[in-house]
Each structure stands twice: as C-alpha cells, then as structure tokens.
Structure 1
Amino acid sequence: MQLSVSALLGLVAAANAHGIVTSPATRTPGDATAAVCGRIMTKFYQADNTSYPEALFRANPNGIGKDYNPNKCNLYLCRGYQFADNAKNVQSYKPGDVVEMDVFIRIPHKGYANVSVVDTTTNSIIGTPLIDWPDNYAATLTPPANQTKFSVTIPTTLGDKCTTAGTCVLQWYWLGQGQTYESCVDFTTPKSTAMKFKA
C-alpha cells in the first residue's frame, strides 16, 4: 500500500522529531558526562545522538539512575554533555568570522529554533540570537535548505567573555511540541589586544 504525501506528513507529525548539528564538531557524551549525568543517560544518547531529554525521561519513567546529578548535569544545556569529553574539539574563531553550520533533521517537526552564543557557566545567551526561526522550523517533510545549511557570524561584542575554552558555545536550539534539541560547538576567541595606558 502506498501512502500519500499528506498521510506521510501525518505520520511524521505523530512521530518524535530528531535532529543534530553535524558541522562544525559538536559536544558528544563520554566518561565525564557519564560521571555526572549517569550511565543511563550516556547510553541513551550514544544509541541515538539525535534524540532529546524529554524522550530520555519518558523511556525511563522510574528515573535515570542514582548516578545522575542534576546539580552538575543540566540536560537542557548542551544536552548535559560535559566539556571535559570535548576539549579536543574546541574551535578558534575571531570576532566577525562567518561559521558555516550543517544540521541533520532526521524527523521534521514544526517548532522554533535559533543559534546563539551561550555562556555555559550561567546557561544564558550572550547578546541576542545570531539567527532564528520564530516559527515553522522543520515544519515540512523536507525542510528548506536555509534551515539545514546556514551561516552565523561571531559577534564583535564578546570582549574577553569567550577566551577560556569551555566557557562559550554556539548552541543550536530547536523546540517543537515539548521536544528540546540542542547541539553545542565549543569555541574560543582571542584575548583583547587593546593597549591599556596607566593614568
């Protein structure tokens, strides 16, 4: 039996969405993540790196283990993935650099999305989103090209906020119907070279 396009779209709408940034390199879970987020969480994402935290909790209604430490593992900041597992993937950008990004949408699902510079010490956006889609992100069976291949520009207003590795990430964030997706690209910018004069 062949399904019509509308029927296929209906099936997609009923399914869970899935997506991840494939370029530049993003955080992945390893031993440091397992130490604070637990083995259940780590194995869950290693089995499907396009999934999301709400599905993790739904798949484990009795909890995700005693080795999950919510004070050290924020599942809504880079999915909880720890910098220590990803120190070799830190990108070096200068203010004004244009960063090309590729996103893999395995299952489209209408929602809101953006890419922002996020301070990982406070889980807060620095400035405003570098690019955003207020609605209709991944709303069709084949998302528009500018939703899966696009570029962002490193702000010139970061100062010295992102000079230490692990402090700043480019975070792709997609929220649709209660499903949260995040991919984080660790990066640093050079320290300010402005000369300081004594009075």
Structure 2
Amino acid sequence: MHLSTVLSVLGLTSLATAHGVVLKPATRKPGDATTAACGGALVNFYKQDETSYPEAFLRSNPLPDRNKCNLFLCKGYQFADNAANVQPYKTGDSVDLEVYIRIPHSGYANVSIVDTTSNKVLGTPLVSWASGYAASSKPPADQTKFSIKIPELSGQCATAGVCVSPEIHINKTED
C-alpha cells in the first residue's frame, strides 16, 4: 500500500518539547492561514521563540478560537501554509529526526502519529522515553537524534494533512 502522504506527519509537524524544536525533517511554519485561524499574536509569539510551548501562549489575550486553532497540535500551524512541503513516506520507511532542546527539564516524551480530523493518536507511539526525558543540561544523543519507522496505517493517512507526528513532551514537576 502506498502511503505517500502518511507523513505530512513528520514533514509538517512542529514541536514544543522541553523548550525545543525539530530541526530535521522540516516542520510546519506559520503563514497567512495560521494568522487567519490563530491570530497574529500566536504567529508573533512563536516567531520570537519557536522553542516555546502552547501553555505559555494560553496566558495571552485574546485567545484564538479553539475550533479553528488547536494550540496543542502543531502549535496551531495550519496545513494550508505548508501543503507544498509534504514529505512522502511509505510503510516501513525509516525517518531520521534531529531535535534541538534549548531548555531541558525532566519529563517523558513520545512521537506518535495523530489523525488531525479526530485529534486521536493512531496506534502506539513510534518511540517513547520514560521519566527523565531531557532531564540533563546535555540530553543524551538518543533524545536529540533518533529514527522512527513508519507503521502500517491502513490508508488512514493517505490524504495530505490528515496525519501529523508531533513529539509530545510532558513536564513532570512532582514525583
């Protein structure tokens, strides 16, 4: 089965992990569609610091319409701004990722494929790190340079923009 657009997933995701950003492969960037859906304040917020995180933006006023702008999926960045950047992957492909973590702090993380129409994770995480992810000032190489293997998705991601693969970091502040 050809899943040529399964990873509008990686090619178009954004990352807010321990104040970090995916460097490779290319990630979504904001444009006119993001400004229309999420507002100029969000675009300016991330242009000032693309390693920031949605919770920090939630302190802003006014907040964008959550029906148009999902801050927790690709930082609200819209597919329409990035359609030309779709990277085709097929089941079984190995995809190398490189992540820059500007402000490491302990937590756990994973990379999963998310259906943007339902905001639900498809299958199991492609890679995950238990407690202690990004806990040191110099995170281990397996947290900043790693590969994932594209799973069989039964055509669920055959349409560009339906699936994304954000890296999700949860900061754990208590034991």
TM bin, normalised by shorter chain, reads 0.7 to 0.9
Letter in 1 for 2:45: F
Are 1:103 and 2:102 counterparts? no
Sequence identity of aligned pairs in percent?
58
Bigger radius of gyration, 1 or 2?
Answer: 1
- C-alpha RMSD over aligned residues: 1.3
What 5-or-longer segments of structure 2 have no aligned partner? Answer: 1-17
Partner of 2:12: none
Q: Does 1:162 align with 2:169?
A: no
2:11 aligned residue: none
Contact 1:57 1:64 in 2 (8 A): no
TM-score (norm 2): 0.85
2:62 to 42, 48, 64: 64
- 1:29-88 deviations in Å (ceiling 9; x for gaps): 111011011111111011111101111123x2xx235xx221110111111110001111
Does 1 or 2 have the higher relative contact order (CA < 8 Å, sep 6+)? 2
Query: Which structure has greater strand proportion?
Result: 1
Q: Could you tell me how far 1:92 is from its partner in structure 2? A: 0.4
Distance across 1 between alignment mates of 2:48 and 2:24: 20
Q: Tell me which residue corresponds to 1:22.
A: 23
2:148 counterpart residue number? 152
State the aligned residue count: 156
- Using the size of structure 1 for normalisation, the TM-score is 0.75
1:117-173 deviations in whole A, cap 9, x for unaligned?
1111111110000000121000001000000000000002x0111111000112211
For residue 91 of structure 1, give the secondary structure of its aligned residue in structure 2. coil
The 5-angstrom pairing of residues 152-191 of structure 1 reads 152-156=148-152, 158-177=153-172
